[in-house]
Structure 1
Amino acid sequence: MLSRSARAADVVRGEFIDLDGARLYYYAAGTRGAGEPVVFLHGFPTSGHLWTDVIPLMPAGHRLVVVDLLGYGRSDPPQARSLTLRAHGERVVALMDALGIHRACIVGHDLGGGVAQALVIHAPARVTRLALIDSVAFTGWPTRDVRLARTLLRLTGKVPPKWVLAILRADLERGYVDASRAMHSIDRFLRPFTSDDGRAVFMQHLRALDAGETRALAQRLGEIAAPTAVIWGAHDPFLSLRLGRRLAGAIPGATLEVVPGVKHFTPEDAPRPIADAIAALLVR
């Protein structure tokens, strides 16, 4: 008999899909079995690569869809398109429509967790279950260094993008337990932003980060009816465990799973506990 990981990873393909003139990159794994589809959303400034080690550990019988949000990874630059949480969520719904997925379990990490909150609140019929992993919520994000760069951007109208990327790289390293993994993944995540055009896109993302969005969403967390799992690294230096506890307490029936010994990038540093927590959510 095949192992759970072998069955889940038996079909993997990456494709671009045009949504209203912008191409999103996604890859699909697993099968279209009886289990509900699962859509994975990364955060800032990462990409679908974040889920590489989680996908093979997922249970069989589910269609698994991993998305590069607009302006990240291999997806197109945003140009003049909105980068709000709600706009990202609407594009995820459009992707689901294009793939023939009516309802799905939505899994979001970091900014992707904010997108997931916007999606479940504004399109609740499309969400069967919700997993929020080290997610932005309420206020207190982005990080201090990102807020500093954005403040300088407002005051001077110009911040050297190379300086911002260097500061961000050092900041991101604090979110990993495995230093070698951090180096490899951060290089991959930031690569699209290293060209002149890419740095301009990165500055767009920087401007778009807005805790006011999650503050507004927080007023409606009590409306969420989908079974929800909040999953948090015990030592997250960016989004503290206290925030995770608060988020779980604000969503009716939500469970909180604390992953010991890890920080912010739990899908990479602890893929097995993440996959197991999502698998448990899928049978709730």
Structure 2
Amino acid sequence: MNWREWQRQQEVLELGQRFVSYVDWGRGSPVVLLHGMPTWSYLWSGLARGLATSHRVLVPDLLGHGFSDRRDRFDRSLSRQAEALEAWLDRLGVVDAAVVGHDVGGGVAQQLAVRFPRRVGRLCLMDSVSYDAWPLPLMAQFGTPWMARRLSPERMVGLLSWALKSRGFAKKPSAQVVEGLLAPYATEVGMVSLSRDAVALNTNQTQVVSPKLGQLAVPVLVMWGAKDQVLPTKYGERLVWDIPGARWVSVPEAGHFLMWDAPHAVAMELFRFLEGEAPVTHAPERPVAEVLWSEGAPG
């Protein structure tokens, strides 16, 4: 599936003054797949269809990313992303989802699991930002005003394409894959929005939840590409050490984008994790919220 076909599958849900674009496939226990930077929900296009044969698969674009709301002047931090996702899940009536987060999406997943535990029945972190391991220098540079003013969208996408090809994959990706992962940012609006996303990258957002990871009481899987040149495996190993009962899976011959380098191995591990012993479920405490998330919500 190319990125245009994926985009045509997206639905849109308004959350107060913002909106989230997302794919909603299949039936069964819910699985939420969260992307990182500089990607979008298309990152999961190779796995989502298979997972949807036995699960309800929900794949959002984080606010400011992909084809979710990219208008200016709102908070794009991990904590606000988690609040937006909590409101989005509430609107969809989803509790106890299996939440899978990659890269920055893994940081959002940590916030969601710690702050809104009734939404998270299982947690999988894949090559996730954590502790003080991020932001990466290149992405941090995109958050500087002078960088956004000097670069054209073509030049920025060219730099990101080079970075993804040289460091993101253990196997040479196709041009279609790289183009698809960066497609939303190949316009002026996309470039400016990605720059705003980069401004929000803040290591304090993972440091503040790291002492609370030991309180997680759900099944946790930490899966890492053994050849990740972006976020070294030592950070994944530390997550396993800090989270009680977490299971560690190292994927040989895979880099940072392990779902593209080793799709079969990743899919098999995910199915194994999703079909494991059922976690304790949370009975809904109230009807779907009437009050929608907005940037005025407490942070």
TM-score bracket relative to the smaller structure: 0.7 to 0.9
User: What is the alpha-carbon distance in structure 2 between the residues aligned to residue 109 and residue 281 of structure 1?
Assistant: 16
- Which ranges of structure 2 fall in alignment gaps of 5 or more residues? 1-7, 278-299
Matching of residues 48-197 of structure 1 within 5 Å: 48-58=41-51, 60-150=53-143, 153=144, 160-162=150-152, 163-173=155-165, 174-181=167-174, 183-197=175-189
Measured against aligned partners, the alpha-carbon deviations of 1:16-53 in whole angstroms (never above 9, x if no partner) come to: 1111122211111221x3xx211110011111111111
**Counterpart contact for 2:101–2:109, Cα < 8 Å:** yes
Measured against aligned partners, the alpha-carbon deviations of 1:162-217 in whole angstroms (never above 9, x if no partner) come to: 35443332211121133243x32332232222222222111101111111211111
Q: Secondary structure of the equivalent of 1:83?
A: coil
Q: Percent identity?
A: 34
**Counterpart contact for 2:20–2:69, Cα < 8 Å:** yes
**Counterpart contact for 1:146–1:168, Cα < 8 Å:** no
Match of 2:231 in 1: 239
Q: Which runs of 4+ in 1 moved over 4 A?
A: 156-159
* One-letter identity of the residue aligned with 2:17: G
Match of 2:222 in 1: 230
**Counterpart contact for 1:222–1:252, Cα < 8 Å:** yes
TM superposition shift of 1:232: 0.2
Q: How many residues align?
A: 266
Question: Given the alignment of the two structures, is residue 254 of structure 1 paired with residue 246 of structure 2, yes or no?
Answer: yes
**Counterpart contact for 1:149–1:159, Cα < 8 Å:** no
* One-letter identity of the residue aligned with 1:249: W
**Counterpart contact for 1:59–1:279, Cα < 8 Å:** no
Most deviating of 41-50 and 266-275: 266-275
Measured against aligned partners, the alpha-carbon deviations of 1:204-234 in whole angstroms (never above 9, x if no partner) come to: 0111111121111112111111110000000
User: What is the alpha-carbon distance in structure 2 between the residues aligned to residue 146 and residue 159 of structure 1?
Assistant: 15
Change (3 A) 1:198 1:158: closer
Q: Secondary structure of the equivalent of 1:235?
A: coil
User: What is the alpha-carbon distance in structure 2 between the residues aligned to residue 149 and residue 75 of structure 1?
Assistant: 20
TM-score (norm 1): 0.87
TM superposition shift of 1:59: 6.9
Change (3 A) 1:184 1:178: farther
Q: Secondary structure of the equivalent of 1:52?
A: helix
Match of 1:14 in 2: 10
**Counterpart contact for 2:102–2:128, Cα < 8 Å:** yes
User: What is the alpha-carbon distance in structure 2 between the residues aligned to residue 221 and residue 140 of structure 1?
Assistant: 16
* One-letter identity of the residue aligned with 2:73: A
User: What is the alpha-carbon distance in structure 2 between the residues aligned to residue 137 and residue 83 of structure 1?
Assistant: 17
**Counterpart contact for 2:100–2:125, Cα < 8 Å:** yes
Question: Given the alignment of the two structures, is residue 30 of structure 1 paired with residue 22 of structure 2, yes or no?
Answer: no
TM superposition shift of 1:103: 2.2
* One-letter identity of the residue aligned with 1:220: K
TM-score (norm 2): 0.83
User: What is the alpha-carbon distance in structure 2 between the residues aligned to residue 208 and residue 242 of structure 1?
Assistant: 24
**Counterpart contact for 2:95–2:121, Cα < 8 Å:** no
User: What is the alpha-carbon distance in structure 2 between the residues aligned to residue 20 and residue 116 of structure 1?
Assistant: 22
Q: Secondary structure of the equivalent of 2:221?
A: strand
**Counterpart contact for 1:41–1:108, Cα < 8 Å:** yes
- Which ranges of structure 1 fall in alignment gaps of 5 or more residues? 1-11
* One-letter identity of the residue aligned with 1:239: L
Q: Secondary structure of the equivalent of 1:258?
A: strand
TM superposition shift of 1:71: 1.5
User: What is the alpha-carbon distance in structure 1 between the residues aligned to residue 71 and residue 225 of structure 2?
Assistant: 31
